[in-house]
Amino acid sequence: MSKVLVIGYVWPEPTSSAAGSRMMQLLNFLSKEDHEVLFCTTARNTGNMADLDSLGINTKRIKLNDPEVDDLLEEFKPDIVLFDRFMMEEQFGWRVDKICPQAIKILDTEDLHFLRQARERAFKKNEKAEDLYFDSDLTKREISAIYRCDLSLIISEAEMQLLFSEFRLPKEILLYLPYLLEMISENKLRNFPSFEERKDFISIGNFLHEPNWNAVLYLKEKIWPQIRKKLPEANIQIYGAYASEKVFNLHDEKTGFIVNGRAGDSSEAMRNARICLAPIRFGAGLKGKLIEAMQNGTPSITTNIGAEGINSELPWNGFITDSENEFITKAIELYSDQNLWNQKQIAGVEIINTRFCKEEFQSNLKSRLEEIKVNISAHRHMNFTGEMLKYHLHKSTYYMSRFIEEKNRNKN
């Protein structure tokens, strides 16, 4: 039995974010592959964290710049180390290289953080994102972390293409691994609530994520008032974890803008809605809310950034538009036309079943890990840039970490 150490950015919260769902998919895969899995994080416990004990996964809270992490690595002796986002590789990758040099290092990027940041800055400054990410320190940090790992998991084909075309990363250190989903059977499709059984629109997303807050504000100020004029009996139900006071201040029953906060069961909330609205104007990765809409038979209307990486050439389960007026028109049309709604629901099922088959992508990941394990030395020699970046990071990070450790020791 091989040992896998997962170093998480946060405790996984699958009911709060798409990132939490993604991590749980990976942990489920690892635990079912007969690995001994240990999940560690520097984050504090939360009331919404997943019960990893039920999967047979041990957990431990660790600290930054703490020699006890070295002791943990010495004792556990992992064969594989999975970093949840590049910041964890920056903090702990050099320790893994020092103590467990033969361990396969995997980076789950979740999404490309530098791309998300560049798009947000571009949106706010009315500039082009590609003019911003090449000069960004975040870009250099994230690309460096990808090079230093033996394999990086990329959730979107669009992001794979960006890394190949703009940054010339070698294909041997990247693996396209989208969400790992169960197929939607004919029986499940038949059991979805019908068009007549559903009502209202829905918008859902973790409010710690800036693109979600921006989208809800856009709905409130520009889009929803126009929809409500044509559909006065309809409401929009706003859901999302970690809603602050500024979010709840948007609640207005008179205009049908209902802010609910965290959804007790997001799948149930999605199944009860007729349409999912996601006017996302910046961001990266795959948008979990739109995947969840398809999984629950709920057509959606979104932007090109919202749909990026999900459907490829397949018809969308609703409409994709960056035009505010068209977004409003299509929302009204789809809400009112049962035949069109039924067609779009089926399109969403086809996307899930064609693009996110769990068995196919799990098999790809397993095969790639076996290839790397057998040829680890040759694999790393091919990636000389990564070896060079490890050398320089180790020199700088090692001495800085030791300085902080000594400083902390003197305080105590």
Tens digits of per-residue pLDDT, 57-85? 999 999 988 889 999 999 999 999 999 99
pLDDT (0 to 100) of residue 65: 84
d(CA 160, CA 112): 10
Select from 242, 318, 313 the least CA-distant residue to 277.
318
The yes-or-no verdict on residue 160 having pLDDT over 90 is yes
Select from 269, 267, 347, 337 the least CA-distant residue to 307.
347
DSSP letter assigned to residue 315: P
**Average pLDDT, rounded, for the chain:** 93
What would the pLDDT profile of 260-300 be if each residue is shown by its tens digit? Answer: 999 989 999 999 999 999 999 999 999 999 999 999 999 99
Position 400 confidence tier, pLDDT thresholds 50, 70, 90: low
| Residue of 26 and 130 predicted with greater confidence | 26
pLDDT (0 to 100) of residue 365: 97
pLDDT (0 to 100) of residue 111: 93
CB contact at 8 A, 181 and 29: no
- Selected from 3.40.50.2000, 3.40.50.300, 3.30.565.10, 1.10.3720.10, the CATH number assigned to the domain covering 3-181+358-411 reads 3.40.50.2000
**Percent of the chain whose predicted confidence (pLDDT) is above 90:** 83
**Architecture, CATH, for domain 186-355:** 3-Layer(aba) Sandwich (3.40)
User: Which range, of 16-25, 163-172, 333-342, averages the lowest pLDDT?
Assistant: 16-25
d(CA 52, CA 106): 20
Q: What is the pairing mode between strands 300-302 and 257-261?
A: unpaired
For the chain, what are the domain ranges? 3-181+358-411, 186-355
**Percent of the chain whose predicted confidence (pLDDT) is above 70:** 95
